[in-house]
Amino acid sequence: MPLILDGKALSESIRVEISSYVERITSKGYREPSLAVILVGDDPASHIYVKNKRKACERVGIRSLFFHLPQNTTTPELLDLIASLNSDENVDGILVQLPLPTHISQQEIILSVSPKKDVDGFHPENMGKLVARIEGGFIPCTPLGIDLLLKHYGIDPKGKDVVIVGAGFIVGRPLALLMLWRDATVCVCHIHTKDISIYTKKADILISATGVPHLIKEDMVKEGAVVIDVGISKLDNKVTGDVDFERVKDKVYAITPVPGGVGPMTVTALLLNTLQAYKQNMDLKDESF
Ligand code: NAD
């Protein structure tokens, strides 16, 4: 049996720690941490993600402020809301749920969030810190969640061949930078890669983030590898990942399940980033977490 990298269990234990930190700090008279969540339109998947994130916040004592704007919201209207949240000292983090409706400029919105409140880590200032290996910036939630999961199970990327399939802005690209930071040798494949199996077969740590169900088959994975499945899609009406889990699992050293692997770690990383924003905003550097 492979080692199952249980993101759900690890998340639960980190969330207990966050919750007791918040209890401790608020009992000293400080206000609770707060996260503003903005959702534009009625995309059903985005609704579910936002609901889960808000529920997770509330369960650990982080106040979540919800701004649900109509589908026809304009870029200037959204920019106005973000500007007011940027200057509100009682708001620690701001999350704009992506994707935005196509008439809104995603780039302009990402640039408008204060880097100090950018708990998603998408602002170029935070991405730049990831490139330059500067501590203290916000690391995007899914890469950070994967990093925590690997660390927890004693899997050190240093000197390993890490192959990432998927070069998206939210997962693949920032994850490649984070794995480089961890001193791995990193290879990134994407839709234009001629034959991804040439690369996946060499991976000590294979991470797939494409959203293509069962893209990663048994014969594409090296014996004894660590496999991290970020993908979330539906196959035969069941939530499934990028990896053909049932066939791949007997060949590998460790693997994440879907659901229950990277998904909960992503939300936990959001809670940790919000706490980091709170501590910086409230100047609580000395309060250990
Ligand atoms: P994206 O669309 O931004 O990027 C997808 C990447 O996959 C692109 O680089 C594309 O070139 C590549 N790709 C697509 N088909 C491919 C193929 N056949 N071969 C090789 N590369 C291919 O998507 P994203 O936002 O990075 O999300 C990717 C997946 O991860 C989705 O299923 C999404 O739902 C999931 N996701 C999960 C979590 C989580 O917490 N588990 C978080 C974010 C995203």
How many whole angstroms separate alpha carbon 259 and alpha carbon 257? 6
- What pLDDT was estimated at residue 285? 78
How does pLDDT run across 6-43, given as a tens digit for each residue?
Answer: 999 999 999 999 999 999 999 999 999 999 999 999 99
Distance 264 CA to ligand 1 centre (A): 17
Report the share of the chain in percent with pLDDT over 90.
Answer: 98
What contacts 24+ positions apart, CB below 8 Å, involve 217-224? Answer: 217/244, 217/247, 217/248, 218/244, 218/247, 218/248, 218/251, 220/196, 221/248, 221/251, 221/252, 223/251, 223/252, 224/251, 224/252, 224/253
Among the listed residues 85, 87, 50, 94, the one whose alpha carbon sits nearest the alpha carbon of residue 68: 50
Mean pLDDT of 137-159: 98
Distance 213 CA to ligand 1 centre (A): 10
Per-chain mean pLDDT for the chain: 97
Whether the bond between 99 and the residue before it is cis, its omega within 30 degrees of 0, is: yes
For domain 141-263, give the CATH number. Answer: 3.40.50.720
Please indicate whether residue 225, judged by its CB atom, sits closer than 6 Å to ligand 1.
Answer: no
Distance 135 CA to ligand 1 centre (A): 27
pLDDT band (50, 70, 90) for residue 237:
very high
Please indicate whether residue 140, judged by its CB atom, sits closer than 6 Å to ligand 1.
Answer: no
Taking the domains of the chain in order of start, what are their residue ranges? 29-114, 141-263
How many whole angstroms separate alpha carbon 225 and alpha carbon 124? 33
Take atom 40 of ligand 1 and give the residue whose Cα is closest: 263
Mean pLDDT of 199-222: 98
Distance 231 CA to ligand 1 centre (A): 6
Name the catalytic one among 97, 160, 244, 276. Answer: 97
Take atom 6 of ligand 1 and give the residue whose Cα is closest: 166
- What pLDDT was estimated at residue 206? 99
- Is 279 a residue of the active site? no
Q: Is the pLDDT of residue 286 over 70?
A: no
- Is 120 a residue of the active site? yes
Please indicate whether residue 18, judged by its CB atom, sits closer than 6 Å to ligand 1.
Answer: no
The residue whose CB lies within 8 Å of the most ligand 1 atoms, and thus the one to mutate among 191, 194, 207, is 191
Q: How far is CA 41 from CA 110, 144, 235, in A?
A: 17, 28, 26
Among the listed residues 172, 169, 181, the one whose alpha carbon sits nearest the alpha carbon of residue 133: 181
Mean pLDDT of 265-289: 92
Q: Is the pLDDT of residue 289 over 90?
A: no
What is 29-114's CATH number, 3.40.718.10, 3.40.47.10, 3.30.470.30, 3.40.50.10860?
3.40.50.10860
Burial class for 285, CB neighbours closer than 10 Å (0-12, 13-18, 19+): exposed
Per DSSP, the chain holds a count of helices (H) and strands (E) of 10, 11
Q: How far is CA 58 from CA 47, 276, 288, in A?
A: 16, 17, 21
How does pLDDT run across 53-87, given as a tens digit for each residue?
Answer: 999 999 999 999 999 999 999 999 999 999 999 99
Among the listed residues 104, 55, 106, 58, the one whose alpha carbon sits nearest the alpha carbon of residue 77: 104
Q: Which atom of ligand 1 is nearest to the CA of 145?
A: 40
Name the catalytic one among 6, 92, 118, 120. Answer: 120
Q: Which two tokens stand for residue 189?
A: 């494949």
Mean pLDDT of 216-242: 97
- Is 53 a residue of the active site? yes
